[in-house]
Chains A and B, each alone.
Chain A
Amino acid sequence: MAKIVSLPEAVATVRDGDTVALGGFTIARRPMAAVAEMIRQKKKDLFLVMAQGIAEDIMIGAGLSKMVLTPYLANEVYGLGFCFRRAFEKKSILVDDCGQAFHISSFLAAEYGLPFFPSIAAKGSDIYNPAYDGFKELRGKDLRLPAKKYAVIEDPFWGEGKIVLIPALRIDVAIIHVQQVGEKGTVRIYGPQGTDTSLLHGCKRVIVTCEEIVPEEELRGVPELNAASGLVVDMIAHVPWGAHPTPCAKYYDMDEEFLRAYVEASKKEDSFQRWLEEWVLSLPDHHAYLKKVGLSEAQRLRAEAHLGYAPTARREEK
């Protein structure tokens, strides 16, 4: 049963060494406030399996993870993931490359509680080069990993040739930032959902941070629009602007200047460290971050979608 907690309380349940999947997609609706909190709480040795963009790039740069499974890690047209790039080139991180179909197959298997999922994509690619299995040395020893990267069978049913079997990921914790959550944990996501449906149903523990906590009946009026019930959510944290600087559909757009400044700073180790100090480590919490970005006043006044006004109790929050 989902319970409402603070962001630091939710993040405190992430254990060193956990396999972690962060919601959203590339540089959209990423759980950025939770990422900052994980850095403040000095998490370490996390295995990141949704490695896609800025969220993972910051975590790698801050030293929280030395192991990632990724189909793509960059900031789209804004630039490469430079912390990831540096770590890869210095070999201070273990990376297993996959393609999008491989990646979603491993999530779908997890989502449905199946041991593996078949794929027909990318067969002649270096993604399947046995010598390039980034976790080769750890398989059979590190219990977070499947015994093999993949297996191939001949289609036993329709004679469609070689089918690749992609092992399920076993994910300890998912952290997903969404627009609305009911007080019992019903999840409503607007805009492209990335792999969030898989993460909501396929991880041992699910933390959802949200723009708004709304009455359940608001969301239960049209249940088919919901991404998950509260039955699969463990913790809810109310974190307005929790995806900043990435966009959160219907709530705010991308803060492009902020993202560009991050990408620029991330190009060099020392400027990244300065960025990290300025925007994460020197700030005690998300409120301080919003204040520094210049959003705290706007948030105080922002009306809640289901009410049409900003409730007094929230307006008096610091």
Chain B
Amino acid sequence: MNYSLRELMTIVAARHISDHQIVFVGTGLPLVATLLAKMTHAPNVHMLYESGTVDPDLQELPRTVADARVCHKAAYCRTVGEINLHYLTHGRVDLGFIGGAQLDKYGGVNSTIIGSYLEPKVRLSGSGGASDIVSLAKRVLVIMNHEKRRLVERVDYLTSPGWRAYKWPEGSFVPRQEAGMRPVGPWKVITNLGILDFDENTKEAYLAYYYPGVTKEQVRENTGFAIDVSRAQLLQIEPTDLEIKLLREKIDPTKRIL
């Protein structure tokens, strides 16, 4: 069956979710990926919504993160504070997803501003829960469109730090534990061209896999920092008919997200 790179990216993200995990999801592509995982290899995945619900059984894509749809057969439904503190702060979240407008080579994400913060070009939404997720979830997957203007040496505003973070008040850019953060940075970056992993020593992103139909050269051209593609392998992946069918017919039939 034919598929788009966006569908492939969603399937790749879904396959990174394991059964029985507690996953912190928002709306958008991470939710589609989580639902796909739940309907295939991870039927016992537990979803958390920052708006206040725990472990719902979603029947359709929510319109908003605080929709009644995210309460359907949920185990618990209360407040933003409770989800953030009971689960995220407690270290109970196995996997969190974040996205954004820019990514630095250490996996740090900007979802706040393009241009200088004090002389802004484009104002974006802001952190939401992303800066908390990268601080407190056991594992973090970053989902990004792979474009030269997005994958950059240094982001314009570091909303959600990766393996390097700012040490305040002086503002030096240091390994995240020196900035008082847990020593574990993002797990992987899933883009529409491939999967980035982080070098064990330098903690810089390198291309681990590229998708069928994509070349290493294409990845290099679409990356704004010097990216190591020497270790990259072609991702041996064949989305199943079931996965494609679930995405198109069951999870997102009206193409809200995909």
Contact = CB atoms under 8 A, between A and B. Distances in A.
For A81, A99, A108, which residue has the most chain B Cβ atoms within 10 angstroms?
A99
Interface residues of B, number: 62
Interface in A60-109: 70-74, 76-77, 80-81, 84-85, 88-89, 97-101, 104, 107-108
A76 B64 contact: yes
Contacts of B169: 130
Contact of B123 (A85, A129, A161, A250): A85
Given A72-B125, A85-B122, A100-B129, A126 B79 contact: no
A191 interface: yes
B159 A25 contact: no
A128 B128 CA distance: 15
A167 interface: no
A100 B122 CA distance: 21
A217 interface: no
A126 B66 contact: no
B81 A70 contact: no
B80 A195 contact: yes
Contact of A191 (B77, B80, B117): B77
B51 A129 contact: no
B120 A247 contact: no
B25 to A, nearest CB: 13
B137 to A, nearest CB: 11
Given A100-B127, A124-B176, A129-B171, A196 B161 contact: no
A64 B161 CA distance: 34
Contacts of A266: none
Contacts of B88: 101, 121
A274 interface: no
B98 to A, nearest CB: 12
A206 B6 CA distance: 46
A193 B63 contact: no
A44 B168 CA distance: 35
A256 interface: yes
A3 B102 CA distance: 50
A99 B63 contact: no
Interface stretch (A26-34, A275-283, A306-314): A26-34
B189 interface: no
A223 interface: no
B95 to A, nearest CB: 17
A21 to B, nearest CB: 13
A258 interface: no
Contacts of B166: 124-126, 128-129
A113 to B, nearest CB: 15
A192 B49 contact: yes
A301 B19 CA distance: 47
Given A100-B127, A121-B135, A25 B66 contact: yes
B152 interface: no
Contacts of A161: 180
B81 A107 contact: yes
A123 B181 contact: yes
B127 A127 contact: yes
A303 B53 CA distance: 28
Contact of B80 (A97, A98, A194): A194
A193 to B, nearest CB: 5
Contacts of A125: 127, 131, 158-161, 165-166
Contacts of A191: 66-68, 71, 77
B42 interface: no
For B67, B112, B159, which residue has the most chain A Cβ atoms within 10 angstroms?
B67
B27 A124 contact: no
For B65, B129, B168, which residue has the most chain A Cβ atoms within 10 angstroms?
B168
Contacts of B121: 89
Nearest to B166: A124
B79 A198 contact: yes
6 contacts: A123-B165, A124-B174, A124-B181, A125-B127, A191-B66, A197-B78
Interface of B: 27-28, 49-53, 63-68, 70-71, 77-81, 84-85, 88-89, 112, 117-118, 120-132, 134-136, 157-161, 164-169, 171, 174, 176, 179-181, 256-257
Given A25-B64, A124-B166, A193-B79, 4 more contacts: A99-B131, A101-B89, A107-B81, A254-B67
